[in-house]
Amino acid sequence: MKGFKEFLLRGNVVDLAVAVIIGAAFGAVVTAFVKDLLTPLIAAIGGKPDFSALSFTLNKSHFLYGDFINAIVTFVIIAAVIYFLVVLPINHLIQLSRKEPPPDPTVRKCPQCLSEIPADARRCAYCTSEVEPMLMPAMDD
């Protein structure tokens, strides 16, 4: 039981459970929005009262293609909201946090082999070519 309790209280499992519950609730809200508001508005332009009423019968089988149209519209709206309100802001924050660290002043690249050598070196330890030493600025307190 102890291992099971640790597994359940691990951050990833709890976060995933919350995400699934919130996602299901959000899906229900978007489905209601599409079914109750958006679909009748689009159907009014097309002359039909509601997409869910669109259907046809073939050999006593009833095909509700209006419900399928509602599902497609719902999916597109959910995907757009997720992209514009979650993915884009997260990508932007990640891009802001990926700034290059300032170069280390104690090392530099060898102009011949591009390996890192000490800043005040006169010869590369890797390719043995002679290099000009870098003049380090004096640090005053």
d(CA 39, CA 67): 10
Instruction: Tell me 139's DSSP state.
Output: P
- State the pTM of this model: 0.49
Q: Quickly state the pLDDT bin for 141 (edges 50, 70, 90).
A: very low
Q: Write the pLDDT tens digit of every residue in 2-48.
A: 887 777 677 677 778 888 998 899 888 887 887 788 777 777 787 76
The whole-number pLDDT of residue 113 equals 92
DSSP letter (8 states) at residue 118:
E
Dihedral (CA of 22, 28, 32, 38) sign: positive
Could you tell me the residue ranges of all domains in the chain? 2-97, 103-133
Superfamily of domain 2-97: Large-conductance mechanosensitive channel, MscL; domain 1 (1.10.1200.120)
